[in-house]
Amino acid sequence: MWHAYPRAGTTLPLGDDGGVPDEPTGSADPLTSAEGTGDAGEPEAPAPPRRLRLLLSVAAVVLVLDIVTKVLAVKLLPPGQPVSIIGDTVTWTLVRNSGAAFSMATGYTWVLTLIATGVVVGIFWMGRRLVSPWWALGLGMILGGAMGNLVDRFFRAPGPLRGHVVDFLSVGWWPVFNVADPSVVGGAILLVVLSIFGFDFDTVGRRKAERATLGRHKADQR
């Protein structure tokens, strides 16, 4: 038998590789490639979402409610004269407060203004690293309330940094307050509870639980 070989300068027809496998040019399995993996060869977890938008949304709701209710109170309520809501227990009572929330620390208006300004700046700084939605809720409540009272400090009489805050709601023996006051206090209580139970602002879940899970994972690898 004899075999016919192609003459010089001729080409074989395309479409049939003759069963010859292609040479490997790289990793054929994207899951086994080094890209997108951590030190242990496992895919890196996606970064947790930041919660600054949630924080600002909560703060905006509190701020708008506080400003609108104060404007209505000044326009509709007689100064210092209680208007009954539920007997004498719950009343609308328009007063001007030079102190802190619930009429505390009166006479230190400019000091309270500077403290509130520092709180606002600090919350914005934390917001860049914020991951926990519950911390976003608490900080948003504090931010909205602090900004609501700061608006009064800067723009109401007797002048900037010394303006008196508008309070209009009286409940029993409790000092007269506004929307911003319980928002600040409620947000602070929420943050304390979160801290006690191990929820940090820069993690999604509990810090202790995450550490325990990481410890078990390392033990299983050994």
Tokens 């007689």, located at residue: 78
Phi/psi for 88 (5° steps) reads -95, 0
Strand, coil or helix: 170? strand
Distances (CA, A) of 162 to 57, 114, 136, 144, 151: 28, 11, 30, 20, 11
**Helix orientation angle between 133-155 and 109-127, rounded to the nearest 10 degrees:** 150
Active site residues: 167, 181
What is the C-alpha to C-alpha distance for residues 183 and 25, in angstroms, rounded to an integer?
62
41 phi-psi bin (left φ>0, alpha ψ -120 to 50, beta other): left
